[in-house]
């Protein structure tokens, strides 16, 4: 597969992933239901989380970035993330993806990838 065929390249590379993370995280933090997960985080912690999100998504999409964070199960263990939280998260994700008007193929790949993480993120 040529590098230009990767989802990473088709989504605009690093700049594309950084833009999405920059849009998505503030949406999640401002959500009345989901904001609790960031209520005691300082700006440095949020910035680190944003970079880990960019790295994780970029590496997962075939990009050159190395993700050095923990796996999704370990990262979200004990946070009490439930089905309602997941639905709120995916609503913000869809709104973010739609803001960037991704082509249908890429939109479908992104949403399918995230949905595959559900069992690693949601408790129970």
pLDDT score of 54: 96
Please give the residue range of the domain that contains residue 16.
3-121
Contacts of 35 (CB under 8 A, 6+ apart): 28, 29
Number of domains in the chain: 1
- Answering whether pTM is above 0.85, one says yes
Q: Could you tell me the CA-to-CA distances from 35 to 5, 68, 85, 103, 105 in Å, in that order?
A: 36, 25, 10, 30, 31
Average pLDDT per consecutive 10 residues, the chain (124 residues; last block may be shorter): 80 96 96 95 94 96 94 94 98 96 94 96 88
Q: Please work out, in degrees rounded to the nearest 5, the angle formed at the alpha carbon of residue 26 by the alpha carbons of 22 and 29.
A: 145
Q: CATH number, domain at 39?
A: 1.10.490.10
């Amino acid at each position: 597969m040529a590098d230009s065929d990767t989802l990473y390249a088709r989504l605009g590379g690093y700049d594309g992933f950084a833009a999405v993370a920059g849009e998505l995280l503030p949406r999640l933090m401002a959500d009345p239901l989901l904001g609790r997960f960031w209520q005691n985080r300082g700006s440095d912690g949020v910035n680190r989380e944003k970079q880990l999100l960019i790295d994780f998504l970029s590496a997962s999409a075939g990009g050159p970035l190395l993700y050095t964070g923990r796996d999704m199960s370990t990262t979200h263990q004990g946070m009490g993330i439930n089905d309602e939280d997941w639905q709120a998260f995916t609503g913000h994700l869809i709104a973010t993806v739609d803001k960037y008007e991704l082509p249908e193929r890429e939109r479908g790949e992104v949403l399918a990838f995230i949905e595959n993480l559900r069992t690693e993120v949601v408790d129970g």
